[in-house]
Structure 1
Amino acid sequence: MKNFHLNRILNLKTVEAYFLRDGYLISPKYCLVLIDYKRPSTINDFPHLKDIEGISADEFGNDNFIKAVIISAEEIDQETHDELYTAAAGFLEDKQDCRWNFVIEVVPDFSNKNNLNDIFPLLQSILKTHNLSLNIEDIPEEKFNFLSQE
């Protein structure tokens, strides 16, 4: 299994984002975005499970729902998918009464997004795509000297 070097680039109450690198001081290969919706999960959060016999919409009433989004410049193979899933699971698998899911967004231009000025418009777009209305582009630059940008 691959070990990724993680560099946290954003830490808010509802969103965290990390560059995932193959090594120290290497351009990021992926970006992991964790979105905390702070609401109960529903079957609509898991469209691939809808209409499967034996799965009831009532089973999805957990107290919270979090989505892990991986941004990649290219399509990935199953082995890489599993490694990235494991990286996200390290943050999310032990949360009690919380459901989470995992998606990969292929953004060909991501390979050119290796600094905060370049990544923030892309992160803003990803948040909008995944129905989180939060403006991260107006965070003052000096806030990035702290562990949290809030």
Structure 2
Amino acid sequence: MPQYRKNLGSLVIASSPAPLAKAASVAVKSSGNIMAFIGIIAMMSALNAYLLAASRVLQNISFEYRLPFVSDIGKNGTPFIAITISAIAGASLLLFSNHFEQLATISVIATLLPYLFICASALKMFDSLKIRIISTVGLLSTMVILVASIFISLDTQ
């Protein structure tokens, strides 16, 4: 009987659009809403970081290739045209494609690759044992997350 209950819970959590919130609400009744709120904050933070990074990359490319209409900076120092172009491009990808899982996987890979290179360069550049241990742990854990996300995305296709 306990095995049946465990499998039933796994099926409910696996089919949920918010599995962490569902699992937390099973453990503690009111924690599902808290987990959902934390997830929304994390998602908004990630979207903000993606938009900021994409707009700055677009701005730097426009400086190199002399595209003055994209490289314009507002009075507060923000590349408002590059931000607008990045936001429209990102929203268009989500709206006009039916491949949300693949876009999410690409997003995870694009986020984790810089961490891999940062950890690898810290491992090579610094002689401090503490920094080398931290960068090794960061390199290994990022590689595990990257490989796991790729396998999970292949499994869901």
State the TM-score bracket (shorter-chain normalisation).
under 0.3
Task: Report the structure, 1 or 2, having the larger strand content.
Answer: 1
* Structure with greater Cα Rg: 2
Q: Which structure: greater helix fraction?
A: 2
* TM-score when normalising by structure 2: 0.25
